[in-house]
A and B are shown apart, each in its own frame.
Chain A
Amino acid sequence: MTTLLNVKDLRAYYGQVQALHGLSFSLNEGSLTTLLGANGAGKTTTLRAICNMVRSSGAVEFDGKPLNNRSTESIVRFGIAHVPQGRGTFTTMTVEENLQLGAITRKDSAGIVADIERMYAHFPVLKQRHTQQAGTLSGGEQQMLAVARALMLRPRLMLLDEPSFGLAPLVVRDLFGILGKINREDKVSILVVEQNAQLALELADQAYVIETGRIVMSGNAKDIANNEEIRKSYLGY
């Protein structure tokens, strides 16, 4: 298996405060990897540092190419789609415009039209609401839209920041089912940050546990889920 994303000794800062203290991990092509950890452990910061949205040092390599010192918007062009915390919906625009924005860096207009239809097939509720302002969608629908918007890039890697946040348990199950399908069928590698460790471990193949800006545990998702000690001390279930 080839390494798609390689993060080495990543440190990130908010002003004077250091949030990541030399974090290293890697993600294999085609894998669905999860970053787990408590509130404030540095999960979101890790995703933000990968996309250069926060001051950071260390090495981030995507498919062998360094991402450091590149602007957020140019990192997208490598095929990295980031669904931020809070979903980042363009609330005043229509659902369809949100999807078009996901593909704004692509040049193949026929492919974009086809992909919008493909998203409507994946998420029928978005088709029903395609002329509606995205801000009027429910939380679950907005999360579907955010995932669909990210897929419109035809990404090689999708970064998801707490997709379960604020959603009803049933909706979360649905969403995670879709993510698994995207990972298997569309061959999109996924890095998902979650507080809902139980669910994330069911879905993922690899897992890393972060505590106060460092990786404290890594391995096969099943092994971590089955290790009662880790579960109790780090994942709280």
Chain B
Amino acid sequence: MNGVLTLLKPRLWSFLNGNVARDREPRNIKWLLFGGIGFLFWAGIFTVFYRVLRYFQGVEGFGDILAYKLLSMVLITFFALLIFSSIITALSKFYLSRDLVLVHALPVSPAQIFLARWIESTIDSTWMVVVYSLPIFLSYGIVYRGGILFYATILGALLPFCLIGSALSAIAVVLVARFLPAGRIRTVFVFLSLVLFVILLIAFRMMRPEQLTNPDTFASVLLYFRSLETPGSPWLPSTWIYDSLREVLSGNRSGALFHLALLWSGAAALGYLMTWIAGAAYFQGFSKAQTTAERLLPSRQGRGAAGAWLLGFPSGPTRAFAVKEIKTFTRDQTQWPQIFLMIALIVVYLYNFSVLPLDKSPIKTFYLQNLFSFLNMGLAAFVLTALSARFIFPAVSTEGVAFWIVRASPVSIRSFLWVKFWVYFLPLAILAEFLIVATNLLLQVTDLMMILSTATVLLMVPGIVAMGVGLGAAYPDFQSENPAQAVTSFGGLLFMILCAGFIGFIVILETGPVYSVFMASLNGRGLALLQWVWLAISFALVILLCVLAVVLPMRLGERRLKALA
């Protein structure tokens, strides 16, 4: 056990050293900012659940059933999240971390290394789920007057619940790494994400969420109740934690204790099984992972299709960076699952528009269609922000330790950043216009709204991309093993806040004038002079804001990146 603790010390010391680092002041600001936003989310979750549970409590007859059903769904979601996040973390901790070669050269057994890594992985993958589950349990405790025993049960149940999730993931990862060809570990990411994507899509379609709110569609009320009361599988750990919480809330202490015992014995048995499997398979899997990473797609002589058309461009830095950017991006298999998930998001987004029950609304459909179209500009821009946060913000950080090549090359940092801008601007602009035009067609909006929304989004996209590239350059992380995580940094957060503000301002600036133009055309009259002035000023401000959103972040990024030297 001493060996395991020693192996955990570098992580602990690095964390503690972080507090005495040279940049202590900015670090404190970051902690405050992250802490503040984290707390807001925490409080938000609590408020929503508290109000929902209060409402349920007031529903005579089946309010409690709904509350328990909600708890069961939340726990299943948490369990799925735990499994998924544990698999991703465990893969990295067990096989991909840079320090593993050094650690395996130390005079400690692979079993000790595995155990130390598993503890780290468990903490990393579960802490956030635990932190954000607490406001939900707290709201149940308050609304249903859980008492001290309820909170004690939660504490006693959450730990084995997390251990079970993490142990199951570790077993899966060790087995996959043992039997899949070496170097294919990353392929697992693709596979898992594809599976997740398909499950999500099928589940979404089968749920038909728009009908869930309408009990009329069930054959009878009895059937509706039955569907709500269906118990979870007795093999699922989320059922054990659910049962223990339900029993303690209904005052059945021995029942709660029994389900708690199930959780703990399940965790202990899985822990034993995991160490046994790891002892037999971990080191072999690690050895396999050391060999050259094989590609998911076979090698092609004279490869170059990914950017072949770009080779028609005159040679120069632009072509160099553009080809490099496209090839490294498309060949990085860790990017693919994220793309699949983003596609899933977009499909769901468009699907939502196709099933909007506009005709059932008491408000005039024509008015509502155009209102949605207007709000959709903001929504689409938020979707683009999410995409940018994942793919564009880390674009500079992905240069990683190879950034010396850029610094040593006869290309200015400005040109380097602008190439990045154009490489990402073009696909994002096309996607943005596709989203807007598709949703507008689904909504059957007026020509005016179609022109306004396509133009506005086209104006906003350069700003969003420039903020991604510029702030990504201002807050780069060249040492990260996973540059995609850069978005969870202070800079990433700043990017999202600024993007939200930017989009919000544009929408607000356009709301008033667009409403007057819309109403005027609806009533068949012209605009007053004051309205024309208002319109001109608003749109001039929109253009100015969009220009500033491009120029300022790019300049900041250039200055900060130059100052790094």
Q: State whether these chains interact.
A: no
Binding site for B on A (CB under 8 A): none
